[in-house]
Chains A and B, each alone.
Chain A
Amino acid sequence: MSWKLFNLLLEASLMTIFVSTVSILIGLFLAILLSAANLSGIRPLQWFAKFFISFFRGTPLLVQLLLLYNLLPVVGIQIPSLVTAIIGLSICTAAYQAENLRGGFEGVPTGLVESADMAGFSPVQTFFHIRVPIALRLTLPALINEAILILKASSLVSVVGLIELTRMAQNLVASTFMPLEIYASAGLIYLVINLVVATAGRQLERRLPGVGGK
């Protein structure tokens, strides 16, 4: 396999990294909103969050993507495949991240929340200034794990036509008939990206201060 082919794969991996990063961040934002809905005490909001989390964790991402990809044109929405891919991945990871965050929110010391109340914080202020930062810190390992899962899951967005690492590999295989070398190289690139994310995550965990002496 020539360097030229490998370079094409490397270029395509930038798209994988881009799509995954954007989706994880949007997903994190959505997950915080879902957690807010869960903690709001408003029944319909809680039901919605529960349904959302259960459905998107209970169905394969491939089916979700195929559904989204075919649903949007039917309801008259025309968007580029990049946007479809990001929407699909973000929604899916939001459900998983919300489930991870649930544990984090349970771990927020009650004393801190009560102090914030006493200091005159509104519930919204308490949520964003006290609960969210602590929950995020507590669930950082889960977040890094999720980032790695999404990097791997992003290989599925090839079915909505976005040219990322896996789709590029498929295209190259179709024109060169070297599946062994090309898929192995694609796998290697995924592996390296994931090792970097895992290592960076461990460093980050070590450097950030803990919560409550942990």
Chain B
Amino acid sequence: MGFDFNVILSKQDALVSGIGMTIFVWVVGTLFAAVIGFVIATARRYGGVIVDKALTVPIEVIRGTPFLVQLFLLYFGGPYIGLSLDALPAGLLALSIYGAAYFAEIFRAGYQSVPPGHVEAAECLGFTRIQIIRNILLPEMALLVIPPSVNMAIILLKETALLSLITVPEMTMTASAIGSQEYAFVEAMVLIALVYWVLVELAGLLGRLAEKKLSRYRLAKA
């Protein structure tokens, strides 16, 4: 036996497009997930007890089941209830919903961390609800919310590999295909493992930078 990485590297066009697809799905999926998660957390805060309780159930179901099963349920089961999606939109949707359940919890913790006195003070000054969220709650929770959000983004990056199982042409799928064609599967997997690793480390680095930059807004301990 011997390992030959040149065979794989000669297919760089396909690999690069796979890597591009992974990054696209990751970035878009994470953004959707964060936005939906934020909306859910906000609805739970302001929507009253019934909305709060009603939203707990889907969040717990999504957090308690494997992403792979959710993905298969949506992609293969969807058409039976009139939801026929191509691989890419199905993958993006599944990733966004999955991530949203976790982001909802992250933002809930963020909302809870803001001292009620600040919100009450803003109310007394005549701030509207939107203004309170934008000018008081979001900036004050930002520092607390960033580390778990970066963590979640990293988890979602790794979960994008599963989209290969529903034939989204991201890098695990492209690398598997090239690897099987060229009889160099191990080399292909090693190569993309390294790419994932670099992306994960980069994301972590960016997160730490953002945290550092925001740390001057840290609230004084009362």
Binding site for B on A (CB under 8 A): 54-55, 57-64, 66-67, 70-71, 74-76, 148, 152-156, 158-159, 166, 169-170, 173, 179-180, 183-184, 186-187, 190-191, 194-195
Contact = CB atoms under 8 A, between A and B. Distances in A.
B192 interface: yes
A190 B162 contact: no
Given A180-B80, A180-B81, A60 B69 contact: no
Given A60-B172, A61-B158, A70-B185, A155 B81 contact: no
A179 B76 contact: yes
A152 B67 contact: yes
A74 B185 CA distance: 10
Given A67-B186, A156-B68, A187-B61, A59 B164 contact: no
B6 interface: no
Nearest to B198: A58
Nearest to B3: A74
Nearest to B70: A187
B159 interface: yes
Given A67-B189, A74-B1, A155-B69, A179 B159 contact: no
A187 B158 contact: no
A63 B162 contact: no
Chain A binding surface, main DSSP class: helix
Contact of B61 (A148, A155, A191): A191
Contacts of A60: 157-162, 172, 196
B72 interface: yes
B69 A186 contact: yes
B77 interface: yes
A155 B68 contact: yes
Contacts of A153: 66
Interface in B116-135: none
B48 interface: no
Contacts of B65: 152, 187, 190-191, 194
A63 B200 contact: no
Contacts of A61: 158
Contact of B66 (A57, A74, A166, A195): A166
B73 A179 contact: yes
A59 B189 CA distance: 11
Contacts of B193: 55, 59, 63-64, 67
A148 B60 CA distance: 13
16 contacts: A55-B197, A60-B158, A62-B172, A66-B176, A67-B189, A67-B193, A70-B189, A71-B189, A148-B64, A155-B66, A159-B165, A169-B69, A173-B72, A179-B72, A180-B77, A187-B61
Interface in B140-198: 157-162, 164-165, 172, 176, 179, 185-186, 189-190, 192-193, 196-197
Contacts of A194: 64-65
B161 A58 contact: no
A198 to B, nearest CB: 8
Nearest to A63: B193
B172 A183 contact: no
Contacts of A190: 64-66, 69
From B1, B60, B81, B158, name the one whose CB has the most chain A CB atoms within 10 angstroms: B158
Contacts of B67: 152
B191 to A, nearest CB: 10
Nearest to A188: B65
A59 B1 contact: no
